[in-house]
Amino acid sequence: MLELKNVSKFYYQQDTVASGFSKINLKLNRGEFVAITGESGSGKSTLLNVLSGLDTYEEGEMYINGQETSGYSETDFEAYRKKYIGNIFQSFNLVNSYTVYQNIELVLLINGFKKSEVKHKILEVIEKVDLLKYKNTKASKLSGGQKQRVAIARALVKETPILVADEPTGNLDSKAARKYYEIIT
């Protein structure tokens, strides 16, 4: 479904060029669970951003379902993200003044769903991450673990074929990490 051939990412700053990652070859198939490991600064986040269509690559080829993407415009990548990618961000990126329900609803509205048709879907995913009691609680009032579960729910509710999570269990104990794994797989 996703294939990278010798893909490199450079960061250009004034007179210097920094490498995000270099010559990555990777093939990801539907239904696979893949973990990318490496020391801090090795390019994991950068790679996930490129795979998610959030960042550009400068060298090599990235294929989506066999289609080469070097000619993709921003609009093409936006459409790709909409159709294929659910992101769970390390910093959660929740709207603090919105409730759990509203945070999840927002993603669906942005993706073209109508308010009237998403209620069931939202409640279902809130139940999945065990936050029904908090559905009307503002994100600012949640604990770190609860925020993380909202972030998971928000990525799951789009029902995209690809789920991208950066450092998903970095702040969790092993029991919470196992639970997280159960929810997303």
Residues 54-73 that bind Mg ion (CB under 5 A): none
Residue nearest to Mg ion (CB): 45
d(CA 37, CA 27): 16
Beta-strand relationship, 2-13 and 59-64: antiparallel
Count interface residues toward ligand ADP (CB under 6 A).
Answer: 11
Residues 16-75 that bind ligand ADP (CB under 6 A): 18, 20, 38, 40-46
Residue type, 155: A
Of the pair 45, 87, the CB lying nearest Mg ion is at 45
45 belongs to the binding site for Mg ion (CB under 5 A):
yes
168 belongs to the binding site for ligand ADP (CB under 6 A):
no
Token pair 């009307």: residue: 136
112 belongs to the binding site for ligand ADP (CB under 6 A):
no
Count interface residues toward Mg ion (CB under 5 A).
Answer: 2
**In the complex, minimum distance from the CB of residue 6 to ligand ADP, in angstroms, rounded to a whole number:** 18
Query: CA torsion, points 58, 61, 62, 67, in degrees to nearest 10?
Result: 130
Backbone angles phi and psi of 130, in degrees to 5: 65, 45
